[in-house]
Structure 1
């Protein structure tokens, strides 16, 4: 068995303190055999690959829409959620399957180069099935449904059932039904969903993404109500936010993990309520997408002060110009330089692994195979990601560089 001993100026194990001049002995199959610390006066020791940078576990992407990778560069910043939804609804084109598959293959290569070892993926179709049957990642697949009234709910549920059959026929066991968002899932569809959500260990929900969503969920008025009734000419039977919170409280009592995506407009009071009724819920940040759609960032310092578990995701090319988690971290680092770099690394590693239930990932522990990333760049050790790059040294299956 071949072994490499790799060290750097910092080792972020996520099992304890950051180790200055820390390193790992890692087997060819990616297993961590030892964690060690070098002397600061003599870090470049024979038999040890020493790097000027930071070693971390592999990144965990807690929110993707891989099947939408063909949308790269199609949309323009909308200025609001309603404007973005109108862009999506106006795009009525048939995409050739070869185009979809090529875009997916390219997107998966980006995830590998970015040091991602696992991801939680939203889908409305089964285009990712061939990739997930043979991937080098750990993944969770959510078959997402939305429908604002009974007619739409019936159609959405039938379509989702066919998609789920494709996943199960392919032997993809970590695939679960999930609601899209509070503003897009009507009462009838919640009724269809609930038995499945009660059986599944985890769900994903786009949650409190914009002020327009908050207004609609609280009072049934505003730009989103106008979109439904006057633009789309659609009847709606959407539950108010207290009904949605009752659903989350019920699932919280059952111990379900919940990925609450975006949370840009999440108030402190609602944040505290979520924490109380859904102890296994985590907020998944998608900063590039938030800036693209509405030009706002979530209040991450408040989330940290409130003790909310945080993870991070890339969303899709429909609303983000990048599928790199390092780019997402760079945005947060730029907007909130007061947040320690060690916290950002935790969000991208252990935070995502804990939120998704990837028990063997997110931490550099002896006996685990969590992947190994090297972060390098000017200013990195002073806490800046402005010039940072990531070099994956190992993934779930072994050495990569």
Structure 2
């Protein structure tokens, strides 16, 4: 909190410095330069010259008198005290008002529109890992809850603040309160896969490590938004392992390992889980042969003999939309059921290009064993180009669809020809 305040003050000083320097120059600089000794010396020299010209007859007495009067007038002007002009004071007052108003307005707007308590809460939560007593921590969590719940309806509250409160409640083993905070955070950002996976994890804990029902629904939503979300994949693997579907558990955990940081505790936990999944596969009839086939090198992937071939084809981008393609855009190709849940049966994610892109969707890309292409006679194949890299449709994405086709279709052509409004 102290560092945040110091940085904020430093930025405010930098913003006000041009105005401060302008006011300082305006106050220190006189409105009219005073008379100098040099100017008066020059006038004295001119008077001596006039007297010499009068003495040698170059000037008449009348001309000398007139020139003397002019010199006297100029001496009075040069020697007169300088008076400040009237507009200077109003300019100075306006500058001082601005100097006071700018920081006051900045602090006021941040207090109204921002979330200043979030910085303090985060710092206090970090310090709570030290020598803070349980009573102090409970008091801090209660204060944080009151602050968030007492926000006026029109005042914005950030989802991270509710997420922070949920984690604080969970650390105190107040899981019901943590779930309420997660729900409030999801109301603000319903398509946040991190929040969906965290709440699913919490609910499965409340259900005795069971992901049946609402936890699995949240996991499926998270995977629909981000098919490679590590925690959602890990939870899906745990659910599959719990129902003794060791092959599915291994598939989910292998996909999660691809996104895990090597050597991290999460990656180490996945390795232990994969060992358990392989042990479960080996205990089943034909499991040893399956594991041996997985370990043997494969020359090249090909359609599964005697299995479901899935749907294959090509995605093309309409010429009228090619100018909208930007470097770094991502192409998602989905297969969905014609009726029922819109959760993808298979997902392919590749870099978007102007040229045609070949695709193959089959059961190996299923997100859950219960949602596979082979379980449906017809599917709808959709293609979407996302600039944000999100599987969920967003305004400005480019998309195209096949309509209902056989789930074993080959040489399917998908044309991306529309823009998501």
**TM bin (shorter chain):** under 0.3
TM-score between both structures, scaled by the size of structure 1: 0.24
Q: Considering fraction of residues, name the structure with more strand.
A: 1
**Larger RCO, structures 1/2 (Cα 8 Å, 6+ apart):** 1
TM-score between both structures, scaled by the size of structure 2: 0.23
Q: Considering fraction of residues, name the structure with more helix.
A: 2
